[in-house]
Chain A
Amino acid sequence: MKIIKVLGTGCAKCTKTLEAISKIADELNIDINIIKETDPEVIMEYGVMSTPAVIIDEVNVHSGSIPHRQEIEVWLQEE
């Protein structure tokens, strides 16, 4: 199961990102473990400066905006 972290200091876009990923994972019937990470120290440790950012299994795959649907589908379906 993929561990997905959405990094952000609590702005509207970060919440939307989390919802979008959860929803698409549901539609595709993929089990994920999704966490919202708001601690600035942790965000710094990932070297992220533009939020929302998406970390999948400790790899930074996206930052700075709400990801598109196609991108999310690719991330979720990747082995």
Chain B
Amino acid sequence: MFEMFTDLATWLVVDIFGLSKETKLGDALHFFIEDTTKIFFLLLVMIYAIALIRASMNVERVRDYLAGKHKGVGYLLGSSFGAITPFCSCSSIPVFLGFTSAGIPVGITMSFLITSPLINEVAVLLLLSLLGWKFTLLYVVVGMSVGVLGGVFLDAIKAERWLQSFAAKALKRGKNSSVVQAKQVKILSLKQRHTFAKEEMLEIFGRVWKWVIIGVGLGATLHGFVPEGWIEEHLGNGQWWSVPAAVLLGIPLYSNATGVIPVMESLIKQGLPIGTTLAFCMSTVAASFPEFILLKQVMQWRLLAILFVLLLVAFTLIGWFFNYLTPFI
């Protein structure tokens, strides 16, 4: 069904602009038009459809559900909810405190917060359309594993020792009170769902469209102007250091998943190994300074540093693992 976007791009580039697809500029432009139109179309349709379904899902319900759950399943549930619950990253502090004051262990809360930026419906959608279901599945499994294992690790080292004192007190209070506030669940009519979905669609689209343009633009530039084989030769599988280098490079670059996925597509097509690409992209999306500075309000420096190193090590290991595995998939 996606051929129409290829045809549209060909028509615009060849018939309207009079460029040949053989030229660098024509090729890059074709890539840009095809990808942006396809992504914009998918975003508008799918965000609306998904929002319609999950209109009644929110962080308050997740908290009530997670509170009092056994730890063993808690991490997996925390991570799963992180993937499907919508929330703006500017809410991560209130969400952290809301979970904490309900007595939910720090590890489970962090499983939620680590997974959340890595996996969301927009990211999954883009991956599916640009890189296929195998890669998408891989990405989701890896993203959730980072969330789950990160959470388990943080509880194992008793990370709650290094919360800011008011947050630690709130956690203690939450653990001691067994009363879970049962918030009444609103039943939504179809009309309310439609209103929610429409607002959600416009809101998310308004927020991400520029990222798509930037991401696809970068991807198109790579596609058209970096000589074929250059990346493969210089950053291919042979160089072990290219993975940690990619992770480090991703830290100062801050983007959400929407912007980085078109770049990913282009890098993989150019021959950058899958592991290196994954490591770079996850680092760009999940390890960013602005986010960490926000977390300082609830965590002491020590815990922040541990979390940061934890993510960097995890992404590097993922990169190596997948580079090693590629010949076998």
Mark A residues whose CB is within 8 Å of B: 7-14, 40-41, 43-44, 47-51, 64-65
Contact = CB atoms under 8 A, between A and B. Distances in A.
Interface string B54-84: 0000111001000000000000000000000
B91 A50 contact: yes
B94 A50 contact: yes
B97 interface: yes
What is the interface of chain B mostly: helix, strand, loop, or mixed? helix
A29 to B, nearest CB: 29
Which range holds the interface residue count of chain B? 20 to 34
What is the interface of chain A mostly: helix, strand, loop, or mixed? loop
A57 to B, nearest CB: 21
Contacts, number: 57
The 8 closest A-B pairs by CB, nearest first: A11-B90, A49-B98, A44-B97, A49-B59, A41-B166, A49-B94, A40-B297, A40-B93
Given A40-B93, A40-B297, A43-B97, A50 B170 contact: no
B90 A51 contact: yes
A40 B90 contact: no
Interface in B79-134: 87-88, 90-91, 93-95, 97-98, 101
B101 A44 contact: yes
A9 B295 CA distance: 11
B310 interface: no
